Amino acid sequence: LAGFGLGTRSCVGRDLSWNELYLVLANLIRHFNFELVNKEVVSIYKFIHRPIDKKLGVKLTRRSKN
């Protein structure tokens, strides 16, 4: 991932950003249930390095506080 740069001139906040990303994802998984909106699974096997023009519909519902 070259978004943070590479080598000696890479972003000094890269490690902090990755840790923040892990915390956000862990909290989303902890507090929400995930459900696919469209149940049809379409596999995409392309070796490309650009965003794919397909959307992934996901419904989030808050978990109970039990």
| pLDDT for res 26 | 97
Average pLDDT, the chain: 82
| pLDDT for res 5 | 80
Is 45 or 55 the better-scoring residue by pLDDT? 55
Alpha-carbon distances, residue 53 vs 28, 36, 39, 44 (angstroms): 24, 17, 18, 11
> Stretch 28-50: mean pLDDT, rounded?
79
> Stretch 53-62: mean pLDDT, rounded?
84
Q: How confident is the model at residue 29 (pLDDT cuts 50, 70, 90)?
A: very high
Tokens, residue 24: 């956000």
Domain boundaries, the chain: 2-62
In this predicted structure, the answer to whether residue 45 has a pLDDT above a threshold of 90 is no
